[in-house]
Amino acid sequence: MVGMALSEVMPFLSLYINELGNYNKQELNFYSGLVYALSFLTMAIVSPLWGKLADKKGRRLMLLRASFGMATVFFLMGFVQNVWELALLRALQGAFGGYVSNSNALIAAQTPKAKSGQALSILVTGITAGNLLGPFLGGTLASVFSYRLTFHITGIILFLVFCFTLIFVKEDKSAYSNPQKRGKSLTFKEVAANQVIFFLIVTTLLVNSVNMAINPILSLYVKELLGGHGSVTFIAGIIAAMPGFSTVVVAPLFGRLGDKIGTQKVLLFGFLFAIAVFLLTALAQNVVQLGIMRFLTGISNAALLPEVQTLLTKHSSKENTSIVFAYNQSFQSIGALMGPVCGTLIAGFFDYRGIFIFCSLVMVVNALRFFKLRSVLN
């Protein structure tokens, strides 16, 4: 439900901005980029603060805080009168965020480590399914009702998340009731000094960067491959959804496999598979081949992201799980900002295919770092 709520406004966000003022094309592009980026920027800054509080007061409390805060913000977005009010609320959306990272931390802290891979993979399946369904739901609601009413409905969905969390989510509070169990919250300097944890959160940043790099120009690339034949918007939408479809299907399988044969082995497969898939994507000659490669990209994501979170669980103390996952969330948000910028720049200097070659090289560098640390990633 959170994944749906966060992604369902994306298809019409720029159109909504266009209704808030009389903007030319350049101004609309600027304001759309600003409003889109602000939530990621504030999330990257604020997440560690919420993570420290979660380790002291409890992760369930942070889930309630995030869901209620975002519900309020999204509901208010339907009332804005200008783009600056919308920008402020998008910034607050990022500041109040963290439902997913705290869900990861809560499950990681309360699931037996032998089952953590499977549990976290199921969680990834949920958020990915929501991200897939969100744009479809948002587009349908905006077409049937209006942009403003769709924001109100999104706020109601998030308020239901708050209610469900309040009623159904339980947490072992023993670590918070006993100050001796809490320990001292990790600073970023301490996190960076731990080479395993730092490698894992940087991996999250890089994987999210390469996943997001294609987003700004995906429709243009599809248009080029179609050569003037077919519906660009419809086909681009299908291709954009391909990684999510495959991730939903295979993430739980990789989670169970990692628990049986070792998380490291699944992670290694994910790196090597991603390198090969990105290179092959650069060679795509038509939209069918591009769609297949994007589907395979989702398989590599399913082998990488849940396994990174599983290793973060295994290398973090129970008392510091939330702050570690909060830093992971911050780096994921930074990747969401970096990826589109890098993709746009590379497409400008080279061509669309250059983006996939760049993504493959990024994964090569990350894989080499993995081999260097492999002995301490048990």
Report the b/e string of 106-134 with b at 16+ CB within 10 A.
Answer: bbbbbbeeeebbbbbbebbbbbbbbbbbb
* CA-only gyration radius of the chain, Å: 20
Listed residue (6, 315, 302, 299) closest to 138, CA to CA: 6
Percent of the chain at pLDDT exceeding 70: 94
269-289, pLDDT tens digit by residue? 999 999 999 999 999 889 899
Q: Tokens at residue 290, please?
A: 């591009």
- Residue by residue, DSSP assigns 37-67 as HHHHHHHHHHHHHHHHHHHHH-HHHHHHHHH
Task: Round to whole Å and give the CA distance between 298 and 23.
Answer: 37
Low-confidence ranges of the chain (pLDDT < 70): 173-185, 216, 230, 233, 378
Listed residue (229, 205, 156, 184) closest to 5, CA to CA: 156
- Give the helix/strand (H/E) hosting 68: helix 59-77
Amino acid at 31: Y
Q: Residues 328, 322, 135, 293: what is their CA dihedral angle, to the nearest 10 degrees?
A: 40
pLDDT at residue number 292: 93
Task: Round to whole Å and give the CA distance between 307 and 298.
Answer: 14
Listed residue (19, 297, 12, 293) closest to 136, CA to CA: 12
pLDDT at residue number 174: 65
Task: Round to whole Å and give the CA distance between 339 and 343.
Answer: 6
Task: Round to whole Å and give the CA distance between 104 and 123.
Answer: 7
- Residue by residue, DSSP assigns 243-273 as HHHHHHHHHHHHHHHHHHH-HHHHHHHHHHH
Q: Tokens at residue 295, please?
A: 């589907």
pLDDT at residue number 159: 97
Amino acid at 122: I
Whether 335 contacts 212, CB under 8 Å: yes
pLDDT at residue number 183: 52
pLDDT at residue number 274: 94
Listed residue (268, 294, 275, 243) closest to 360, CA to CA: 275
For each of the domains in the chain, give its residue range(s) and CATH number, in order of start. Answer: 2-170+186-376 (1.20.1250.20)
Burial of residue 378 (number of CB atoms within 10 Å: 0-12, 13-18, 19+): exposed
pLDDT at residue number 216: 66
Q: Tokens at residue 179, please?
A: 């100050």
pLDDT at residue number 82: 93
Taking each helix axis from N to C end, the angle separating 352-373 and 195-212, rounded to the nearest 10 degrees, works out to 170
